[in-house]
Amino acid sequence: MKIGITCYPTYGGSGIVASEIGMELAARGHEVHFITYANPIRLTDSHPGVFYHEVEVSDYPLFQYPPYSLALASRMVETAENERLDLLHVHYAIPHAVSALLAAQMMEGRLPFLTTLHGTDVTLVGADSSYLPITRFAIEKSPAVTCISEHLREETERVFGVTREIAVIPNFVNCGLYRTEGDPRLRARYARPEEKLLVHLSNFRPVKRVADCIRAFAEIAGKLPARLLLIGDGPDRVPAEKLARELGVAGRAVFAGKQQRIAPLLAVADLLLLPSAMESFGLAALEAMACGAPPVASRVGGLPEVVTDGHDGRLVAPGDPQAMAAAAVAILSSPETFRRMSAAARATACARFNSEAVIPRYIDAYKRLLAKG
Ligand code: GMT
């Protein structure tokens, strides 16, 4: 198949999932055309079968707000016609599903498309009164809709009152690339052999509650030798660095910023801290689990669909860094508990969320879409 993919290319979990889908499809012999305003995250190397079409947004003095959604719709049509695309797969409702609707109309229905909802497009942006009617319209009129957890499906129905079919296809991890064997030299950059290495991975937005991660780590570091590696960047990074200094743990916390290759870093970590206020899925938790690092995460949104509390990680109430610290210390201070949870985390990731099992579900969804005609 020839598939066009549109996503937010530079930021956030939805762009990561879209990039990974593109690479997985290309590896299975499909041709993938990204239609985005920048080269998608995690796609900096060239991959056979993956092409990139940049959306250029011209600015004119008349425009207070350059109309990106229209430029995107135009580029979708151009790419679909020139490359003879079979279908489009758009990630994140606003504005991608709306642009796809326009593009499909411009092509008089000859451009089927699938919309995948990721979370904040429903729970934050979509629920905002300025965008609610257009998001509802886009979800109702998309020829096919999927979302990444049962929780998000229920939220979509609740927020928009939609009754149409929304298939749940969970996020996935490539268990061949995300492995438990870490490079000891890489680990040595961040922690001594006797220290536990905790990791946090996010876009440092308020919803991630990074400050809770620092607070929890300060408690953990008071009880056992530990270091914290924070991967990612965003508006809450500087306040988190300040908090780390105030709590006296700045010397034991490394803010690594945005990283291209996440798997090797997760493979050297012992445990992931994910104190988010909301996660429709929590891709970071899944990627850590595949690398044998059990997550200690908030019991919110779709996270209970990924992590089974006490089995392959721990779930605690959001906004309670003390509970998070206590759960992490209990795992890390008992080698037997750690071994059991680490093995269970890897087993869950590979048994339930392996890309080998999940990607065919997208391919089936594309085939059903094309069969509708
Ligand atoms: O929270 C983010 O990282 C951004 C956001 C996005 O749409 O880019 O992430 C959402 O999609 C991810 C991939 O499907 C999910 O793993 C995240 O749980 C979800 N974030 C929220 O629901 C807050």
- Where is average pLDDT lowest: 59-63, 201-205, 278-282? 59-63
pTM, entire model = 0.95
Amino acid 272: pLDDT: 98
- Rounded-to-integer distance, Cα 85 and Cα 92, Å: 20
Q: What is the mean pLDDT of the chain?
A: 96
Q: Pick the atom of ligand 1 nearest to 12's CA.
A: 8
Contact predicate 76/6, CB 8 Å: yes
According to DSSP H, which parts of the chain are helical? 13-27, 68-83, 98-106, 120-123, 132-141, 150-160, 184-190, 210-223, 237-246, 263-267, 283-290, 303-306, 321-332, 335-352, 355-372
* Region at 130 (left for phi over 0; alpha for psi -120 to 50; beta for the rest): alpha
Residue 67 CA, ligand 1 centroid: distance in Å: 25
**Which residue has a Cα nearest atom 7 of ligand 1?**
14
| Residue 126 pLDDT > 80 | no
Least confident of 52-66, 80-94, 209-223, 321-335: 52-66
Q: If you average pLDDT over residues 302-322, what whole number do you get?
A: 98
Cα atoms found within 13 Å of the Cα of residue 21, Cβ hemisphere only: 29
Token digits for 149?
């957890």
- CA 297 from chain centre, in angstroms, equals 15
Ligand 1 nearest-atom number relative to CA 278: 23
Kindly indicate the confidence band of residue 255, based on its pLDDT and cuts at 50, 70 and 90: very high
**Closest atom, ligand 1, to C-alpha of 8:** 8
Q: Convert the pLDDT of each residue in 304-313 to its tens digit.
A: 999 999 999 9
Decide: 100 and 351 in contact? Cβ < 8 Å: no
In order of their start, the domains of the chain are: 2-172+354-371 (3.40.50.2000), 184-352 (3.40.50.2000)
- Confidence (pLDDT) at 125: 79
Cβ atoms of residues 196 and 224 within 8 Å: yes
First vs last C-alpha separation in the chain: 15
- Reported as a pLDDT band with limits 50, 70 and 90, residue 139 is very high
φ/ψ of 169, rounded to 5, equals -120, 110
Ligand 1 atom closest to Cα of 286?
16
Can you give the pLDDT at residue 280? 97
171 CA: nearest ligand 1 atom: 14
Q: Binning pLDDT at 50, 70 and 90, where does residue 361 land? A: very high
What is the pLDDT, as a whole number, of residue 29? Answer: 97
**Residue 203 C-alpha to ligand 1 middle, in angstroms?**
10
Q: Which atom of ligand 1 is nearest to the CA of 202?
A: 3
The token pair that represents 338 in the structure block: 């750690």
Residue having the nearest C-alpha atom to atom 12 of ligand 1: 13
Model pLDDT, residue 221 = 98
pLDDT of residue 128: 83
pLDDT at 44 over 80: no
- Which pLDDT value is given to residue 299? 98
Beta-sheet pairing, 226-231 with 253-257? parallel
Q: For atom 9 of ligand 1, which residue has the closest CA?
A: 13
Half-sphere exposure of 147 (CA within 13 A, CB side): 27
pLDDT tens string 187-214:
999 999 999 999 999 999 999 999 999 9
Ligand 1 pocket by C-beta < 6 Å: which residues? 12-14, 17, 92, 118-120, 148, 171, 203, 207, 278-283, 301
Query: Residue of the nearest CA to atom 4 in ligand 1?
Result: 12
Please give the pLDDT value at position 363.
98
Whose tokens are 């040595």? That residue is 188
What is residue 11's predicted lDDT score, i.e. its pLDDT? 74
Question: Radius of gyration over alpha carbons of the chain, in Å?
Answer: 21
- Which protein residue's CA is at the shortest distance from atom 23 of ligand 1? 279
Q: What are phi and psi of 318, to 5 degrees?
A: -65, 150
- pLDDT number for residue 12: 83
What pLDDT band is residue 230 in, cutting at 50, 70 and 90? very high
Q: To test the ligand 1 pocket, which listed residue (200, 236, 283) has its Cβ within 8 A of the most ligand atoms?
A: 283
% of the chain beyond a pLDDT of 70: 100
